[in-house]
Chains A and B, each alone.
Chain A
Amino acid sequence: MINSSSTLGSAETQKSLLQRLPKDTGILLVLVGIAAIFEVLGWFVVEQTFIFNGQRLFIMILQMAIIGILAIGVGQIIIMAGIDLSGGSILGFAGIVAASLAQSSEYARAVYPGLTDLPIIFPVLAGIAVGALLGFVNGSVIAITAIPPFIATLGMLVAARGLARWYTSGKQVSFLTEDFAIFGSGAWPVITFLIVAGVFHVLLKYTVYGRRTYAIGSNEDAARVAGIAVKRHKILVYTMAGALYGIASIVQTSRAMTAQSGTGLMLELDAISAVVIGGTSLFGGRGRIMGTIIGVLILGTLTSGFTFLGIDVYYINIVKGVLIVAAVVADTYRQKRVAA
């Protein structure tokens, strides 16, 4: 009655050469292409090399480390078909809390006069904890009320900025202990970024955490029917993202050695741009850390390249804008092809 075995549908077609390449090859080529354009323009316009200048590359990566850490955080949220607009604001508030606990005793108007010269582990943990707490609030509001993440995190974007202003009465927090400068010095921002990227690469690819994140982003109903605690997982993912914003705030504050309520303004947009340019789908379900890293490098290369050529900075935003839209258009076409 039953055939021993048979194949459904059309037999799998031979994989084309394109499909056999690593998944991030396309976006990597964009990065290489952009760098090559700056290199060629460099020879003609300023008669210098763009790529083969180690110091420039290092500064570029250093400047992108903070956005990179934010991008990893918001990237996993986008994979889950969510969005988080509050990264920059949470970074601002977490940074100001951390800074207020890292002030040296020489500064007379410290936020907590009795708490100066604490071991730096306290401000570091406080910054991460504040970030995680606000992320937890984001996740809880989204999971419990089921309002769109766009609105919930827009609220947090405004509220966290207000919190930061309230916390210091609008004043700047400066004169941090020398020890606190470590996280922003030398290659530490880059190392921190790479560690965060490595940890989240492993989490997303090899653990239940990642599997659930992709599953919810791919088909939330399927995830729920399969017995995944969708609400709980959403709260966890937003909390993890908040913790990453906290880590980014430590790097930022440590580099600047000062914090104010406006710190990190609009950084969430650069982070989301990097994620989207790096090939993560705004529809959810698809995206990788490696792509996000390349997306971050593309943004950095653009900024660095425009400065290198002496072109006015505001042109960068035009190019960035075009790139973001192009990335989403490309993803939309991919999405249609899968659906067809």
Chain B
Amino acid sequence: MNDARKIVLRTQGLCKNYGGVQALKGADFELREGEHIAIVGDNGAGKSTFVRQITGVEQPSSGQMFFDGKEVSFKSPLDAREAGIEAVFQNLALANDLDVPANIFLGREEVYFNLGPFSFLNEKKMLAKAKEGLEKTAVKIPNLRNAIGKMSGGQRQCVAISRSAAFASKLIIMDEPTAALGVQETTQVENIIRRLKKQGVPLILISHNLRQVFNLVDRIFVFRRGEIVGVVDADKTDGNEIVSLITGVKTGVHENASYI
């Protein structure tokens, strides 16, 4: 690891309680420039909770967060987005009745001049920018003006990803981007992630698929029961070690496991 690289995102003692349940217990996390990181862990380990805190969807109960050299506390997803963090959520977060540009620019529409909610939409500009953004992902969608609900899961996922990529963000977070996709579509999304790596865009990937994780990222953060129980370099570890960290059971019992 070249530790001279600038730290993009750092959290210190990040906690989140839901009522009496501690979903996140003091997460110390660090991401450097151009780095691709995976977050792995069992269901309920706190992966998605962690992501919701750093994307402003929820506010942490305690702890600090530093982004791009400054301490931040995001009140809403829009705050996080304005700071340069883009997220692709597990449940896609697309409006099925809207077309591709409308989805990409949802919540930050291009307008001719600002009249608040009564501003006129600049559809031409949004369409052009949407095309540009999709080119980065190297995915072709035949008609961008079609409602997104009529497209395949892969096409929809690519729209969601290109939404993140299009806004030239400082950090992209993907929560299970291939969970609902077929083999071919998964390959497409993985290619997009590799492309982002080449472009030097930092990325946090949350995935259950360990093979995918080993293929794509530099470092792996393992969550268990709301805590970060291990940080390992992807090329200095193996499936056994990761699974042991995930489950908390010692090495050796996972040799025949099918999840590696």
Q: Does A associate with B in a complex?
A: yes
Which A residues contact B (CB, under 8 angstroms)? 1-12, 203, 206-209, 211-212, 214-215, 217-219, 221-228, 233, 236, 285-286, 338-339
Interface-facing stretch out of B42-50, B103-111, B238-246: B103-111
Inter-chain contact A7/B142, CB cutoff 8 Å: yes
Residue pairs across A and B with CB atoms within 8 Å: the count is: 120
User: In this complex, what residue of B is CB-closest to A222?
Assistant: B93
Contacting residue for B120 out of A2, A10, A207, A228, CB 8 A = A207
Question: Given the complex of chains A and B, what is the CA–CA distance between A223 and B188 in angstroms?
Answer: 26
27 chain-A/chain-B pairs, Cβ below 8 angstroms: A1-B194, A4-B138, A8-B185, A12-B143, A12-B146, A208-B118, A208-B121, A209-B118, A211-B102, A211-B121, A212-B117, A214-B102, A215-B98, A215-B102, A217-B97, A218-B95, A218-B96, A219-B96, A222-B106, A224-B77, A225-B57, A226-B107, A227-B78, A236-B117, A338-B96, A338-B149, A339-B149
With contact pairs A215-B106, A338-B149 given, residues A11 and B77 touching in the complex (Cβ less than 8 Å): no
Question: Given the complex of chains A and B, what is the CA–CA distance between A7 and B134 in angstroms?
Answer: 12
Inter-chain contact A6/B111, CB cutoff 8 Å: no
Is B155 close to A, CB under 8 A? yes
Inter-chain contact B106/A208, CB cutoff 8 Å: no
Chain B 128-170, CB-CB to A under 8 Å as 1, else 0, gives 0000000000111111001101111011001000000000000
- In order of increasing CB-CB distance, the 9 nearest A-B pairs are A227-B78, A9-B152, A226-B107, A285-B97, A218-B95, A12-B142, A227-B107, A226-B106, A218-B97
Inter-chain contact B89/A225, CB cutoff 8 Å: yes
Min CB distance A127 to B, Å, is 23
* Given A217-B97, A225-B89, 16 other A-B residues pairs in contact with their CB atoms under 8 A: A6-B138, A6-B140, A8-B184, A8-B185, A9-B151, A9-B154, A9-B155, A12-B146, A203-B118, A207-B118, A208-B116, A218-B95, A219-B93, A225-B57, A226-B93, A227-B81
Inter-chain contact B76/A227, CB cutoff 8 Å: yes
Please indicate the chain A residues that have their CB under 8 angstroms from the CB of B150 in the complex: 338
Most-contacted residue by chain A among B98, B141, B147 (CB, 10 A): B98
Inter-chain contact B97/A211, CB cutoff 8 Å: no
Please indicate the chain B residues that have their CB under 8 angstroms from the CB of A211 in the complex: 98, 102, 106, 109, 121
Is B195 close to A, CB under 8 A? yes
Please indicate the chain B residues that have their CB under 8 angstroms from the CB of A5 in the complex: 138-140
With contact pairs A4-B138, A222-B106 given, residues A206 and B121 touching in the complex (Cβ less than 8 Å): yes
Inter-chain contact B77/A2, CB cutoff 8 Å: no
User: In this complex, what residue of A is CB-closest to B78?
Assistant: A227
Min CB distance B131 to A, Å, is 12
Instruction: Give the interface size class of chain B.
Output: 35 or more
Is B91 close to A, CB under 8 A? yes
Chain B 175-195, CB-CB to A under 8 Å as 1, else 0, gives 000000000110010010011
Contacting residue for A208 out of B94, B119, B149, CB 8 A = B119
Chain B 59-97, CB-CB to A under 8 Å as 1, else 0, gives 000000000000000001110010000010101111111
Question: Given the complex of chains A and B, what is the CA–CA distance between A205 and B152 in angstroms?
Answer: 26
Question: Given the complex of chains A and B, what is the CA–CA distance between A233 and B107 in angstroms?
Answer: 12
Please indicate the chain A residues that have their CB under 8 angstroms from the CB of B151 in the complex: 9
With contact pairs A3-B191, A208-B119, A223-B106 given, residues A10 and B152 touching in the complex (Cβ less than 8 Å): yes
Min CB distance B7 to A, Å, is 26
Question: Given the complex of chains A and B, what is the CA–CA distance between A64 and B77 in angstroms?
Answer: 44
Most-contacted residue by chain A among B97, B109, B155 (CB, 10 A): B97
With contact pairs A219-B95, A223-B107, A338-B149 given, residues A8 and B89 touching in the complex (Cβ less than 8 Å): no
Please indicate the chain B residues that have their CB under 8 angstroms from the CB of A214 in the complex: 95, 97-98, 102
Inter-chain contact A222/B94, CB cutoff 8 Å: yes
Chain B 200-235, CB-CB to A under 8 Å as 1, else 0, gives 000000000000000000000000000000000000
Inter-chain contact A207/B139, CB cutoff 8 Å: no
Question: Given the complex of chains A and B, what is the CA–CA distance between A227 and B57 in angstroms?
Answer: 9
Min CB distance A111 to B, Å, is 35
With contact pairs A6-B139, A9-B154, A214-B98 given, residues A226 and B117 touching in the complex (Cβ less than 8 Å): no
Most-contacted residue by chain B among A1, A12, A211, A339 (CB, 10 A): A211
Please indicate the chain A residues that have their CB under 8 angstroms from the CB of B87 in the complex: 225
Question: Given the complex of chains A and B, what is the CA–CA distance between A207 and B195 in angstroms?
Answer: 35
Question: Given the complex of chains A and B, what is the CA–CA distance between A68 and B158 in angstroms?
Answer: 41
Please indicate the chain B residues that have their CB under 8 angstroms from the CB of A208 in the complex: 109, 111, 116-119, 121
Please indicate the chain A residues that have their CB under 8 angstroms from the CB of B143 in the complex: 12
Inter-chain contact A227/B142, CB cutoff 8 Å: no
Inter-chain contact A8/B106, CB cutoff 8 Å: no
Most-contacted residue by chain A among B91, B95, B143, B191 (CB, 10 A): B95
Please indicate the chain A residues that have their CB under 8 angstroms from the CB of B158 in the complex: 8
Please indicate the chain B residues that have their CB under 8 angstroms from the CB of A203 in the complex: 118
Question: Given the complex of chains A and B, what is the CA–CA distance between A209 and B120 in angstroms?
Answer: 9
